[in-house]
Amino acid sequence: MPKCIKMDRFRYISGEAWRALTAIEMGLKNHEVVPPELALKISHLRRSCIGFSHLVQEQLILNKLVAYETDNRHSMKGYRLTNLGYDYLALNQLFKSEQLASLGTMIGAGKESDVYIATAGARCGRLSDDSEDLLDEFPKEGDAVVVKFHRLGRTSFRKVKEKREYHQHRSSCSWLYLDRLASRREFVMMQSLRSKGVPVPIPYTHNRNAVVMSYVADSLPLYRILPSILNSNESALAQSLYYQAKDILERVVSLGLVHGDLNEFNLMVSDLDPEENMDISNPKLVLIDFPQMISRDHKLANTIYERDAEGVVNFFSRYFDIPLDDLPSSLDSIKRIDDVDLHLKAPGYISKNATNRHSQHTTEDSLLGPVARLQLSSLENSEVEENTCDSDSDSVDSTTDSQENDQSQIENDGESDSEEINHNENDKKDITSVQGTEIKTVRFFYNPYQILDETFVQSL
């Protein structure tokens, strides 16, 4: 079990320390480590370099929010934001915006995320005053909610940069930024699926690597339901849950998506009655875990869908014989009723303006499940790359998302709203020139330790 986020020292971090932490995060846009001089310059703190270093050491490094790294071989010295520091920045913004009131204990952990129980704030899910007409779906202050922190840099998931194109074809990007992209991906997937009637948790908000969603009360993962309960009453419960799982599987495909990891671990059984010893009279399945979803037009969609269907059938076939007529339909036989994959630019989608299927290779083959990652890797290694310059007109728009509101502390002591700050995509640029029929690509790199000029710093 991973270590839980300790909130005992959260309240004792000073305002200057928060500004320093935010400045280090901003400096990581185009640096692997942030030199102390640059962090001080971005933070606009009225301290000397020694005083700033002392502040970081006493409040950030000792609390393991920041790490100081030295690499004499590459002349690299500076600060690096840790996962805990990134969690603190996300939580600080969620608390300030009254999305959350408190963070509780960890209730689940996996190779890609940690899940915590939390208390909703006064404005949980209310991102603007225009959303007051949806108050029936928003939690009341003090209600239980779930916060999911994405952790793509775990030891068991170290090859995510190779298997999932979260980085939008960038030459390099940090694990923290990949976490941010994954959290936003899951948030918009949940919004779209819920609007189409798919039983998923209610997404309230997201910030950096954290996603706040509704808490499915009185529920258990499907794999934790005792076999004796599923076998009771001639497997009536197992049959009811199977047909719900089959309906969810086919409904998601009809919207243009394939889940990619649909199994007993990502299905929650809700409406459990604790007083009746889990005697479920009206069971309902809720689908969770969405970052790995792909378009049904993806080149591996049929394989991934068949594996999802096989996982559902294999689990429920332990408890009753599934009739042949009730097996999940094939991918091609399910009629598409919506283009959710196109609206979300899901991995592998085909644009309506595309004239042939080659455009599929110009879109993202990302966010695949554990099995799909291996299949895609072996397939791509055997293919010969046909196009040297791919069109990026269909790239995911999440790269232009604004930085969260608390970065405005740099100019207004943390009280005014921030401007949109895009993640730097210029760490590595390709300049392509055409000489006759020959295409020549020249690559160049920015100095990772370049000091930002005064004009750019003032614009922050």
**Residue-level pLDDT at 377:** 52
Q: 116 with 228, same domain?
A: no
- Kindly name the residue from 87, 114, 179, 261 that is annotated as catalytic: 261
Cα–chain center distance at 418: 22
| Residue range of the domain that includes 258 | 220-382
Write out pLDDT tens, residues 120-164. 999 998 875 554 545 457 899 999 999 999 988 654 444 554 445
In a domain, residue 296? The reply is yes
Asked if residues 257 and 198 have their Cβ atoms less than 8 Å apart, the reply is: no
Using CA atoms, how far residue 320 sits from 129, 241, 268, 317, 323, in Å, is 51, 12, 20, 5, 9
In a domain, residue 73? The reply is no
**143 sits in which H/E element:** none
Q: 146 with 204, same domain?
A: yes
Domain end (from 353, 382, 411): 382
In a domain, residue 415? The reply is no
Q: For residue 240, what is the domain's CATH number? A: 1.10.510.10
Please state the rounded mean pLDDT for residues 194-223. 93
What average pLDDT does the structure give for the chain?
A: 76
Q: 168 with 202, same domain?
A: yes
Q: 374 with 326, same domain?
A: yes
Write out pLDDT tens, residues 68-114. 998 777 778 899 999 999 999 999 999 999 999 999 999 988 778 99
Q: Which range among 40-49, 261-270, 361-370 shows the weakest confidence by mean pLDDT?
A: 361-370
Share of the chain above pLDDT 70, in %: 67
Q: Within 10 A of 432 (CB to CB), how many other CB atoms are there?
A: 10
Please state the rounded mean pLDDT for residues 238-247. 94
**92 sits in which H/E element:** helix 83-96
Largest CA distance in the chain: 78
Asked if residues 247 and 298 have their Cβ atoms less than 8 Å apart, the reply is: no
d(CA 261, CA 394): 25
Phi-psi region of 81 (alpha: psi -120 to 50; beta: other; left: phi over 0): beta
Number of domains in the chain: 2
**Residue-level pLDDT at 111:** 79
Domain end (from 200, 215, 230): 215
Predicted TM-score of the model (pTM) = 0.74
Q: 156 with 260, same domain?
A: no
d(CA 403, CA 27): 13
In a domain, residue 281? The reply is yes
Q: 279 with 298, same domain?
A: yes
Q: 226 with 353, same domain?
A: yes
**Which amino acid does the sequence have at 238?**
A
In a domain, residue 395? The reply is no
Write out pLDDT tens, residues 334-364. 999 999 999 998 988 888 775 444 444 444 4
d(CA 72, CA 428): 23
Q: 188 with 311, same domain?
A: no
Structure tokens belonging to residue 336: 């598409």
Asked if residues 89 and 65 have their Cβ atoms less than 8 Å apart, the reply is: no
Q: 206 with 302, same domain?
A: no
Q: 304 with 170, same domain?
A: no
Q: 208 with 245, same domain?
A: no
Structure tokens belonging to residue 193: 């699926």
d(CA 429, CA 443): 6
Write out pLDDT tens, residues 290-323. 988 999 999 999 999 999 999 999 999 999 999 9
**Residue-level pLDDT at 287:** 95
Active site (annotated) includes residue 397: no
Write out pLDDT tens, residues 11-66. 899 999 999 999 999 999 888 899 999 999 999 998 898 999 999 999 999 999 99
**Residue-level pLDDT at 334:** 94
Q: For residue 89, what is the domain's CATH number? A: 3.30.200.20
Domain end (from 157, 181, 215): 215
Q: 151 with 262, same domain?
A: no
